[in-house]
Amino acid sequence: MAAQNNTSISPATANPIVIFDSGVGGLSIFNSIQARIPGLSVIYCSDNAGFPYGSRPEAFVIERTRNCLMKLVERFDPALAVVACNTASTVALPHVRSQLDIPVVGVVPAIKTAAQVSRNRHIGLLATPATVERAYTRQLIDDFASDCEVTLVGSSELVHLAEDHLQGKVVAPDALEQVIAPFVDNFEKDNGPDTIILGCTHFPLLSKELAAVAPQHIQWVDSGDAIARRVSSLISQPAVNSVPEHKAVFTGDIPVNGLVDYLQRQGFELEGLNG
């Protein structure tokens, strides 16, 4: 789900957009945006020096998100920024927007969508421990899913498994089974959630693997398509056949592991944010 922003600007086609996350999770949002707007150039920023956000205090997440976004805007002059991290968006968006004069699109758990598609009125939210605790998340549930039972599961483990996955490491199915075990206990009572929200941008990177270890009737919901539509509505469309130039920037060490191959296959050049 896209968190709304009232700013409406039509930026120059040539400017890239920024996609920001604590790690590789925002690449699931990149995939959705890329599928909808293939010619759009993207500056992807991983705050790998601050990773992981999901077990950090709110003040830490606000500070890092705001500082990184300010540096990125100064250096790359983007048309728009996407805070492609639920953990950051649910707490830092007003702080980021008050500092920037470009549209800032936030990514927050797709609770409204899940409530629309759930047939048994029981939905699950799989997110970071921080996101499941946020007042913002509680408010989304009150606003859009007040007639649903909502089972909340916070997992830092799944964030690390998604990072491993993009580095080319094998993710064991039983590790995923353990992550979704709290939902599965419910399934066995026959009144478990029929719809599970992937409320952390890292998790759609493992959507096939999660679906493979879960009961087949489960519907999986994430925010990727909604964010891509929102971005598309806020920018001037790149010319047909324009060739995008993507950069992946890191606040800490530039990776030297399997992630480099993954990013290069997606067309990214790698560099440091501070260098």
The neighbouring-strand residues paired with 149 are 122
User: Residues 251, 48: contact at Cβ < 8 Å?
Assistant: yes
From 30, 44, 51, 268, residue interacting with ligand DGL (rule: CB under 6 A): 51
Give 20 or 183: the residue with its C-beta nearer to ligand DGL. 20
From 2, 40, 52, 69, residue interacting with ligand DGL (rule: CB under 6 A): 52
User: Residues 136, 91: contact at Cβ < 8 Å?
Assistant: yes
From 15, 22, 32, 137, residue interacting with ligand DGL (rule: CB under 6 A): 22
Residues 196-255 that bind ligand DGL (CB under 6 A): 200-202
User: Is 85 among the residues known to form the active site?
Assistant: yes
CA-CA-CA-CA dihedral for 11, 16, 17, 23, to nearest 10: -170
Contact code string over 137-176 relative to ligand DGL, x by CB under 6 A: ----------------------x-----------------
Give 32 or 87: the residue with its C-beta nearer to ligand DGL. 87
**Least distance (Å) from ligand DGL to the CB of residue 202?**
5
Residues 187-206 that bind ligand DGL (CB under 6 A): 200-202
Q: Which residues of 66-94 are buried (b: 16+ CB within 10 A; e: fewer)?
A: bebbeebbeebebbbbbbbbbbbbbbbbe
77: left (phi over 0), alpha (psi -120 to 50) or beta: left
**Least distance (Å) from ligand DGL to the CB of residue 50?**
8
Give 32 or 201: the residue with its C-beta nearer to ligand DGL. 201
Q: Please tell me which residue in 45, 68, 148, 200 is annotated as part of the active site.
A: 200
| Sign of the dihedral through C-alpha 28, 29, 34, 39 | negative
User: Residues 100, 49: contact at Cβ < 8 Å?
Assistant: no
Give 155 or 195: the residue with its C-beta nearer to ligand DGL. 155
**Cβ neighbours around 138 below 10 Å, total:** 13
Phi and psi of 81, rounded to 5°? -125, 140
- 92: helix, coil or strand? helix
**53 is an interface residue for ligand DGL by CB under 6 A:** yes
Contact code string over 84-113 relative to ligand DGL, x by CB under 6 A: -xxx--------------------------
Contact code string over 115-134 relative to ligand DGL, x by CB under 6 A: -------------x--x---
CA dist 61 and 53 (Å) reads 6
CA dist 255 and 239 (Å) reads 33
User: Is 200 among the residues known to form the active site?
Assistant: yes
Instruction: Give residues in contact with ligand DGL (CB under 6 A).
Output: 21-23, 25, 51-54, 85-87, 128, 131, 159, 200-202
Q: Catalytic residue positions?
A: 85, 200
